[in-house]
């Protein structure tokens, strides 16, 4: 629970600096709701939080639940979006996000690196061409199952096309690699994940043969 203690204190101090007084207990209750729990006690007692946030790389906060819990505790208005930068600064390297779109933006650089540098299937597909120096802007699809509903792993569909530089002095044999698959995360809490790995297929785009 170290992360919760540190972040709740930092948020409380930020509130004080603007003349807003909120107890650390209430702040922890609100954060616990963002982790997917109806109360701080339920969060503290949950076996799902072993190891939980303290071992997470990312936490996808339920901001609607946080606003609802804050209102129930009489803490209104509660600036949910404004506290996320405070949370992230205090909890670094853990990254908290308020939407799937923000999560996709956070993981995009690492996924690009894994696709272009670390993935052997992509490397094998590139080797079939006379091109190199790939670039990709992967697209992520929000899973049908939320991170809270997933079991041991949470899988995010990913697709895209690796664009390559063709060597003009070599015969053309393709300058794009189509990729499709999932980015798999290990769950370490109800709304927390870590350890990203790719499970994708990769093949040279042969559409240039058509016609």
Degrees to nearest 5, angle at CA 109 with 104 and 112 = 100
Q: What pLDDT does residue 172 have? A: 85
Q: How confident is the model at residue 2 (pLDDT cuts 50, 70, 90)?
A: confident
Q: Say whether 135 sits in a helix, a strand or coil.
A: strand
pLDDT of residue 84: 96
DSSP string for residues in 193-206: EEEEEEEEEEEE--
Q: What integer best gives the mean pLDDT of the chain?
A: 93
pLDDT at 210: 44
- Residue scoring higher pLDDT (88 or 19): 88
Phi/psi at 132 (nearest 5 deg)? -160, -165
**Torsions phi, psi for 37 (to 5 deg):** -125, 150
The per-residue pLDDT for 12 is: 95
Reported as a single tens digit per residue, the pLDDT across 7-53 is 999 999 999 998 889 999 999 999 999 999 999 999 999 999 999 99
- Between the alpha carbon of residue 186 and those of residues 4, 8, 55, 82, the distances in Å are 20, 25, 11, 28
DSSP 132: E
Proportion of the chain above pLDDT 70, given as a percent:
98
What pLDDT is attached to residue 211?
Answer: 42
pLDDT (tens digit per residue) in 135-190: 999 999 999 999 999 999 999 999 999 999 988 888 888 899 999 999 999 999 99
**Using the 8-state DSSP alphabet, how is residue 128 labeled?**
T
pLDDT confidence of residue 207? 78
DSSP state of 147: T
In whole angstroms, give the CA distance from residue 127 to residue 121. Answer: 10
Centre a 10 Å sphere on the Cβ of residue 16 and count the other Cβ atoms it contains: 11
Residue pair 98/81 in contact by the 8 Å Cβ criterion: yes
Check pLDDT > 60 for residue 1.
Answer: no
Mean pLDDT of all residues in 84-109: 96
């Amino acid at each position: 629970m170290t992360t919760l203690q540190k972040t709740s204190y930092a948020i409380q101090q930020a509130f004080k600096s603007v003349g807003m007084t909120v107890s650390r207990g209430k702040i922890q209750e609100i954060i616990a709701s963002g982790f997917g729990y109806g109360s701080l006690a339920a969060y503290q007692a949950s076996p799902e939080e072993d190891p939980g946030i303290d071992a997470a790389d990312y936490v996808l906060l339920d901001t609607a639940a946080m606003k609802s819990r804050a209102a129930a505790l009489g803490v209104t208005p509660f600036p949910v979006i404004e506290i996320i930068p405070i949370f992230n600064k205090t909890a670094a390297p853990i990254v908290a996000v308020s939407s799937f779109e923000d999560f996709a933006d956070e993981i995009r650089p690492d996924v690009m690196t894994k696709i272009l540098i670390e993935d052997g299937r992509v490397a094998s597909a590139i080797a079939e061409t006379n091109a190199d120096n790939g670039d990709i802007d992967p697209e992520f699809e929000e899973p049908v199952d939320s991170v809270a509903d997933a079991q041991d792993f949470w899988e995010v569909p990913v697709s895209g096309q690796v664009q390559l530089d063709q060597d003009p002095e070599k015969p053309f044999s393709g300058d794009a690699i189509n990729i499709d698959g999932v980015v798999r995360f290990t769950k370490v809490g109800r709304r927390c994940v870590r350890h990203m790995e790719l499970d994708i297929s990769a093949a040279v785009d042969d559409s240039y043969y058509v016609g």
